[in-house]
Chain A
């Protein structure tokens, strides 16, 4: 196993997953000295019965729910935080529970900073080291969760707030909260989770603990993805899948952002398409690029979670890295019909590609090789794998 000269790994998130997990919330709240949570969620979760199931789990617990705010739009914004903060203080809440996806989680994290430090605006508050201890924050993923929620990042008004304090204290995965969603959404979250996990463990300075987490995330997602996609009724697969997605957030927090993820999010900003999908379509190409043209390359160990131990052993050590890149290409091919096969099919015009590449490079701040983003995007756009480089 690869071990760098120096590394840090931090994770404070507890994961409760499985049967009757929801009913543990009152107990968990009690153990965190909280009695009145504020629930933050989006309209979709309120509509499809997720919130109802959630409230039911509070029966007989004696815990009063401060309020259920179910109007989170597709993104977290300062105005939303103002509303939430008002509600939080008005009801005298002392903890936050977010249900749903990225927007709800980001809003919850932002709100947490605001109410813990008693500021009116998040912008007034810039130094997390001076922050008061944050309130207990529980996150419950719905089917739309895509792995950014469990990270230490909050995106509010296009700004990224990153601090280890922002990890959720508890992530609770229960099949009752995983309602039906479009296949495209499931595919998108799988793609983002894979991107986050794979880019974290192929990063040259990645540490063994993070690798272990990443492999777990990859395996969970890769194994259960097909089942979760096939039918909404495959609850077990779905639970496993969301577990993988949740872990990928933790993995991502302990590694720098990879190029594919950066491209995905910049693409989302410019085109409005889901970031996961964009990142996923770019991932094989970015990995291929890394494998062929960058000195650090890709470690063969990546194949283990992707192919399983038997296939892993059957393939010679020198070919493992290439094989894992191939498998990722194959994954996208296999998803034909669910997601578009290449960026071109997503109705993104070519002239946007250049802008996206530039934006991704700015986002990386010189972290990525110059010109790499554009080259990768051009290949991903037409769906042409790379040639040359190290490959035989």
Chain B
């Protein structure tokens, strides 16, 4: 087996129209500035794509990139990223996935793949170390994600495949790799629009080795220790999966109930991770490699199925007032097979139910009733009946039928299962997150509600905190490793672990901008530098995250995004929930002003030229 020391820095550029490919060697400077993974993908799209491209047109490009960590055996490194222009939101979307495709692509010798153009007939790509083979996909066109993968995977290490939803251009179609998904923003629809059913990689041809093996091993040991020691990653997530969040959210009043009209529910314990672990006798079913082990499968109705993740439980369960895990699991299966994002699907269904209740939209769906949900999910995937409109997402539907104030979306993307009324920082995070309402660009809710490290009901210091978190997470997503490593890598460091909690709370609430400088996040840059052999400190790691964040923002503002889009649904800004002890309003404007200031955006939320210069964001001249 051949070896790659560090990273290959080779990207495949595939043109489906011409059925050709070429190899692009990444500029080493770009690797340093953008780390890899999501950051590099964004940079490559920024160089190649003009603003105003039709997301479902030929000119849109899908970038699937692997990070530096993948393949080296670093903890929780089995993840890869995909970036494209979303048909749901019309702006950039970036997703992370833990399926086997990433490892297969990387061990075929490639750091990523860019797909543009449009094939005339259904096609799938087969990638090995020699390049790309364009194979006919007529036979697998129309198959669900699982069957399609099974049909291909005989001679490959990992596959990305879309289901019928992607083929039918459902705006929130996702892409499956094993039982993991590139979930949000409709990457599946983009693949469908290119007549690209799947991308498969052979894998196993190269071995990835770090440049500084000893340093790497040391870092890895420390990281593994931290992960095992941490309560969340080594405890609740490992035992109960992400659904351990249900009880925490319910207690903290941020669990969405009945289309975000409530923040907690008496029956929520039924769908908690603890209850499901007991009921379904769960065992691990995770990304590979993984040290946290949050993914679970279990015996549901005599069938071994993947246990739905927290977002699915939240949006398709409590948000529809349904507390039957079996039903939710059924719908999760349908979404998985059809290839649809469960968050958007759940959010759109909740809108449909409420609009039906109010008489705006004709539907038989009702809150609290599981009847007809399976059917409508299938209808959405096949664009039948009412599903045709719902397949466009709740923003489109609310513009068409009315009910904008209870279409819980930001920039067209439905909100995940954390209600910002119980966590003001998360409100800001949703409003400014680049791809729309997004929980993985930022997880302030965890600090505010789960860990109680910051006062949730204040606007103070939220802007700096959100900025810091976004920068760190952007970098982590570019490395690329699991976001959950953020808990142990930050919290298990001596300073944070042994400081009294109330001191931390006061420091974080009163002067977050200063406090975050004391957070030791050195593990991530250490991984990067031990693998690539180049130097990277905490400052340049965070600066890289900031660069990625601002670059994505810039690409979005070029598409017309501005302050007017950085907002929250009217329901969240005006309505008070029953679980709220006091009438509060999210002070979004105040937080926005501060956020723009610390980010270096102008009043309209557009990055200032000075900021771009400082971060060295420049469009590269290609093909010279």
Contacts and interface: CB of A to CB of B under 8 A. Distances in A.
B360 A157 contact: yes
Contact of A75 (B359, B404, B560): B404
B404 A78 contact: no
B560 A348 contact: yes
A108 interface: no
Contact of B399 (A77, A269, A273, A352): A269
B614 interface: no
A270 B399 contact: yes
B399 A159 contact: no
B394 interface: no
- Choose among A80, A157, A347 the residue with the greatest number of B CB atoms under 10 Å from its CB: A157
A154 interface: no
A121 interface: yes
Interface residues of A, number: 26
A359 to B, nearest CB: 9
Given A78-B360, A271-B560, A351 B54 contact: yes
A349 B86 CA distance: 13
B404 A157 contact: yes
B559 A73 contact: no
B570 A77 contact: yes
A129 B280 CA distance: 60
Contact of A79 (B51, B405, B573): B405
A271 B358 CA distance: 26
A346 interface: yes
Interface string B52-74: 11111100000000000000000
B54 A349 contact: yes
Interface in A81-126: 121, 123-124
Contacts of B558: 347
Interface residues of B, number: 30
Contacts of B51: 347, 349
Nearest to A273: B560
A78 B361 CA distance: 13
Contacts of B403: 77-78, 157
Contact of A80 (B53, B401, B405): B405
Given A123-B359, A123-B360, A158 B402 contact: yes
Given A121-B358, A347-B560, A159 B574 contact: no
Interface in A153-175: 156-159
B358 A78 contact: yes
A272 interface: yes
B412 to A, nearest CB: 10
Contacts of A71: 574
A77 B90 CA distance: 25
A185 to B, nearest CB: 13
Interface string A37-78: 000000000000000000000000000000000010101011
Contacts of B53: 349, 351
Interface string B547-561: 000000000001110
B402 A77 contact: yes
Contact of A346 (B358, B405, B560, B565): B560
B400 interface: yes
Contacts of B564: 272
Contact of B406 (A75, A79, A159): A79
A349 B559 contact: yes
A73 B560 contact: no
Nearest to A346: B560
Contacts of B359: 121, 123-124
Contacts of A347: 51-52, 558-560
A80 B51 CA distance: 37
Contacts of B405: 73, 75, 77, 79-80
B398 interface: yes
Nearest to B53: A349
Contacts of A269: 399
Contacts of B55: 351
- Choose among B55, B57, B360, B565 the residue with the greatest number of A CB atoms under 10 Å from its CB: B360
A121 B402 CA distance: 14
Given A77-B570, A78-B358, A349 B52 contact: yes
A351 B57 contact: yes
Contacts of B559: 347, 349
Nearest to A266: B399
A156 B54 CA distance: 30
Contact of A157 (B52, B57, B402, B565): B402
Contact of A123 (B52, B358, B406, B575): B358
A350 interface: yes
B570 A73 contact: yes
Contacts of B398: 158
A351 B54 CA distance: 5
Interface string A266-279: 00011111000000
Contacts of A123: 358-360
Contacts of A78: 358, 360, 402-403
- Choose among A73, A121, A159 the residue with the greatest number of B CB atoms under 10 Å from its CB: A73
Contacts of A124: 359
B395 to A, nearest CB: 10
B574 A157 contact: no
Contacts of A158: 398-402, 404
Contacts of A352: 90
Nearest to B557: A347
Interface string A236-276: 00000000000000000000000000000000011111000
Interface in B530-578: 558-560, 564-565, 570-571, 573-575
Contacts of A351: 52-57
Given A270-B399, A349-B559, A77 B404 contact: yes
Contacts of A348: 52, 560
A79 B575 CA distance: 10
A73 B564 CA distance: 13
A291 B565 CA distance: 38
Contacts of A75: 404-405
Interface string A342-363: 0000111111100000000000
A95 B94 CA distance: 51
A269 B404 CA distance: 11
Contacts of A273: 560
Contacts of A157: 360, 401-404
A71 B51 CA distance: 36
A159 B402 contact: yes
Interface in A305-360: 346-352
Nearest to A155: B402
Interface of B: 51-57, 90, 358-360, 398-406, 558-560, 564-565, 570-571, 573-575
8 contacts: A78-B403, A121-B358, A156-B402, A158-B401, A159-B360, A271-B560, A347-B52, A347-B559
Top 9 closest A-B pairs, CB basis? Answer: A157-B402, A351-B54, A349-B52, A347-B560, A123-B359, A158-B402, A77-B405, A73-B570, A269-B399
